[in-house]
Amino acid sequence: MNPNFLQTPIAYLKGVGPNRAETLKSELGVHTYGDLLQLYPNRYLDKTQYYKINQLKDSGADVQIVGKIVHLKTVEQKRGKRLVATFADDTGKMELVWFRGYKWIRENIKINEPYVVFGRVNRFGNIFSMPHPEMELLKNHERGLKIAMQPIYPSTEKLAAKGITNRVISKLQQQLLLESRGQFEETLPSIILQELQLLPKSEALLHIHFPKDQESLAKAKFRLKFEELFFVQLQLISKKIIRKQKIKGFPFEKVGHLFNTFFSEHLPFELTKAQKRVIKEIRADLGSNAQMNRLLQGDVGSGKTIVALMSMLLAIDNGFQTCLMAPTEILANQHYNGLKELLGKMDVSIELLTGSTKKSTRKTIHERLENGSLDILVGTHAVLEEKVRFKSLGLAIVDEQHRFGVAQRSKLWKKGASHPSPDKGEVGGAVPPHILVMTATPIPRTLAMSLYGDLDISIIDELPPGRKPIKTVHRYDSNRLKVFHFLREEIKKGRQVYIVYPLIQESEALDYKDLMDGYESISREFPMPDYQISIVHGRMKAEDKDYEMTRFVKGETQLMVATTVIEVGVNVPNASVMVIESAERFGLSQLHQLRGRVGRGAEQSYCVLMTGNKLSDDARTRLQTMVRTNDGFEIAEVDLKLRGPGDLMGTQQSGLLNLKIADIVKDNQILKTARHHALRLLKEDPKMEKPEHLPVRKHYAKMVKDKAIWGYIS
């Protein structure tokens, strides 16, 4: 087959032409033969064979079965009823289920008569069930026509309007396979094909579009999912290897005076085992001659700041400058104040650079960075400006990295380039700073393997001693008076309270009204002069926000009524209660972040999730998860199942998971297998030069050239 065959523009395929080509491009992103080939069916109608109940597999395909209805019952459920029929053949039993139209079905169904049922099978425990099956008496069915296993492709209204139906796409796929004679280049080495008993590429592509039965479909799916994840992992791992070999880093050879002084005299509390482990991992990286690129994950309040500071002190001890970049001014301010407090009277210079830094102060900061007299710069995006130049940036720390775009991070890299080394004169060429990325948004292991497969990962998975886990409860609006009584009791003990309202961009006016109504009812319940209330929301001027925040931090107000602007940032150890209004409107990670605003002192803290009585199933799962656990990683796993990987990383990251057939959550096991094989291949043959790895190298080079793998990850 001509190697460029799959690059042929789709308009040239028989049956397409210029008009259809335009619609296929705009609606399905199909530009070439290769794109059409990778437009995989969503599901299949299998009318080729009759399954026995004991042959059913959880493959998500539609199947047909011959059997009899032996029992019918109506089951009460939350909303209305459902009709459940026990359907049996000579090998076992399953259930047929109807949620609507069941009165008619009940009256017309014939018990103990042979039927052919057709539909998608779901599995719950050991029982298979088929919701709303197509049904036909066997005697009528035998007189009818038989259709083979039929692929169902993605569709849109516009495609249907232009006459590009499922049947048309199916015909185009047939035409494509005809023109290629079903011959496609193999992309995987024969050893992997043998070990995993994978179908050859050509067979997999034929069977994914035109499977002859369930088994050939399952094998084709496995082969194509494995291949997709294998090449993604190959790219991530080889990037990591190349970086460690080629991208030199400044070696921090000594653990010096500042690090030791801080460790022995300024530590506010004994480090946890997890913190010690992570500092050890970072020290090994920094001393290794290669550039460090490490992701530090730790739940809210797990003590990432101390780890960051100790890493900075290592850099300063070795004659380098460091910077810490945060996504918002509030957070940058908090890091700056936190670091200053930790450093106490130590001889380390630190400055803050944000959008609101005065011009005169900026000028001084720029000068001190360039002459090397400033050790630590904390800031927002302002750190990335062209004017900000370091004399010798050795370590850059990025907090909540998923909020920064890729272009912004690469600017940070260049800050360390071709600057003179402090004690060794000029170092030619670009030496990027070591990079430590911190996040309090726990990323499930599955996702971390894919999104950050090219970073080394460190995890702080225990809280500092003396911290009590936060108690979380779910209360309905009808319990509001009891909740207010509880808040008064806490305030009596000298504690402070947050009350947070949801912020949903599309309805700013509505949010503002909710917040103001809430503020009024809280002012009635907590009247002055006994109580002082702060209010913070997005419509306020920055200085007014800061004034209110400062009053709360100083303890001059007992209650802080706010929208989610406080999600990141404020550290008030005395605040012991977080009330989240309309908690059902928040995502899990946001609820978890908000809860992390309390529980920072030694006192018992509480999080109260307030909701109305009507809750969707997903909302109920989110609330139950919050009440059950404080473990950010467990919460992230549930979140991943509920929302899917694209949403989890926020919009600018969702393009990363643009997979054609694999699903990072459901195909977790295949992902692990793919990573294992990719690692093994690169260990044996880092440049993929062995003759048996030629197919991999060819396909890999082509994908890198087409930017088909995520060349833009981290």
pLDDT digit string, tens, across residues 311-345: 999 999 999 999 999 888 878 888 898 899 899 88
Q: Report the percent of the chain where pLDDT is more than 90.
A: 42
Whichever domain contains 134, its CATH number is: 2.40.50.140
Under the banding of pLDDT at 50, 70 and 90, the label for residue 198 is very high
Coil vs helix vs strand at 246: helix
Shortest CA distance to 564 belongs to which of 612, 471, 498?
498
Whichever domain contains 431, its CATH number is: 3.40.50.300
Q: Is residue 164 a contact partner of residue 24, using CB atoms and an 8 Å limit?
A: yes
Q: Judge if 379 and 476 occupy the same domain.
A: no
Q: Judge if 397 and 279 occupy the same domain.
A: yes
Strands 62-76 and 114-120, by their bridges, are antiparallel
Strand partners, 471: 606
- Asked if residue 308 has pLDDT above 50, the reply is yes
Strands 81-89 and 62-76, by their bridges, are antiparallel
For the ranges 196-205, 269-278, 405-414, 548-557, which has the lowest average pLDDT? Answer: 405-414
Helix 304-317 vs helix 273-286: crossing angle, to nearest 10: 30
For the ranges 148-152, 176-180, 486-490, 527-531, which has the lowest average pLDDT? Answer: 148-152
Q: Judge if 323 and 354 occupy the same domain.
A: yes
Q: How many residues does the chain have?
A: 714
**Dihedral angle of Cα 224, 225, 230, 231, to the nearest 10 degrees:** 70
pLDDT digit string, tens, across residues 59-68: 667 788 999 9
The C-alpha atoms of residue 332 and residue 400 are separated, in whole angstroms, by 11
pLDDT of res. 648: 44
**Burial (Cβ within 10 Å: 0-12, 13-18, ≥19) of residue 640:** buried
Q: Judge if 22 and 56 occupy the same domain.
A: no
Q: Judge if 564 and 522 occupy the same domain.
A: yes
Cβ atoms within 10 Å of 639's Cβ, excluding its own: 25
Identify whether 663 is part of a domain: no
Q: What angle do CA 98, 102, 104 make, to 5 degrees?
A: 145
Identify whether 444 is part of a domain: no
pLDDT digit string, tens, across residues 611-622: 998 888 889 999
Q: Judge if 558 and 575 occupy the same domain.
A: yes
Q: What does the radius of gyration of the chain's CA atoms come to, in whole angstroms?
A: 30
Q: Is residue 283 a contact partner of residue 371, using CB atoms and an 8 Å limit?
A: no
**Burial (Cβ within 10 Å: 0-12, 13-18, ≥19) of residue 2:** exposed
Coil vs helix vs strand at 99: coil
Q: Judge if 36 and 53 occupy the same domain.
A: no
User: Of 149, 177, 193, which closes a domain?
Assistant: 149
Q: Which domain holds residue 56?
A: 49-149
Q: Judge if 427 and 282 occupy the same domain.
A: yes
Identify whether 639 is part of a domain: no
**Burial (Cβ within 10 Å: 0-12, 13-18, ≥19) of residue 80:** exposed
User: Of 580, 612, 629, which closes a domain?
Assistant: 629
pLDDT of res. 429: 47
Identify whether 452 is part of a domain: no
Q: Which two tokens stand for residue 501?
A: 């309202």
Strand partners, 50: 64
Q: Judge if 435 and 555 occupy the same domain.
A: no
The C-alpha atoms of residue 328 and residue 593 are separated, in whole angstroms, by 15
Cα 558 off chain centre by? 36
pLDDT digit string, tens, across residues 123-140: 887 889 999 888 888 888
What does the pLDDT average to over 626-636?
A: 86
The C-alpha atoms of residue 69 and residue 441 are separated, in whole angstroms, by 51
Q: Which two tokens stand for residue 570?
A: 């404020």
pLDDT of res. 492: 94
Beta strands in 153-304 (DSSP E): 293-298
pLDDT digit string, tens, across residues 68-92: 999 999 888 877 888 999 999 999 9
Cβ atoms within 10 Å of 352's Cβ, excluding its own: 23
Coil vs helix vs strand at 337: helix
* 217-244 CB burial, b ≥16 within 10 A, e <16: bebbbbbbbbbbbbbbbbbbbbbbeebb
Q: Comparing 239 with 656, which gets the higher pLDDT?
A: 239
Q: Judge if 385 and 427 occupy the same domain.
A: yes
Q: Which residues contact 630 (CB under 8 A, 6 or more apart)?
A: 299, 469, 470, 472, 595
The long-range contacts involving 417-421, CB below 8 angstroms and separated by at least 24 positions, are: 419/390, 419/391, 419/392, 419/393, 420/391, 420/392, 421/250, 421/319, 421/392
Q: Is residue 399 a contact partner of residue 325, using CB atoms and an 8 Å limit?
A: yes
Q: Judge if 477 and 580 occupy the same domain.
A: yes
What does the pLDDT average to over 522-550?
A: 86
Q: Is residue 457 a contact partner of residue 297, using CB atoms and an 8 Å limit?
A: yes
* 97-109 CB burial, b ≥16 within 10 A, e <16: bbeeebeebeeeb
Q: Judge if 36 and 55 occupy the same domain.
A: no
The mean pLDDT value of the chain amounts to 84
Under the banding of pLDDT at 50, 70 and 90, the label for residue 642 is confident
Cα 676 off chain centre by? 22
What is the pTM assigned to this prediction? 0.65
What does the pLDDT average to over 208-215?
A: 86
For the ranges 223-232, 259-268, 441-450, 481-490, which has the lowest average pLDDT? Answer: 441-450
The structural domain count of the chain equals 4
pLDDT of res. 253: 86
The C-alpha atoms of residue 312 and residue 295 are separated, in whole angstroms, by 15
Q: Is residue 327 a contact partner of residue 399, using CB atoms and an 8 Å limit?
A: yes
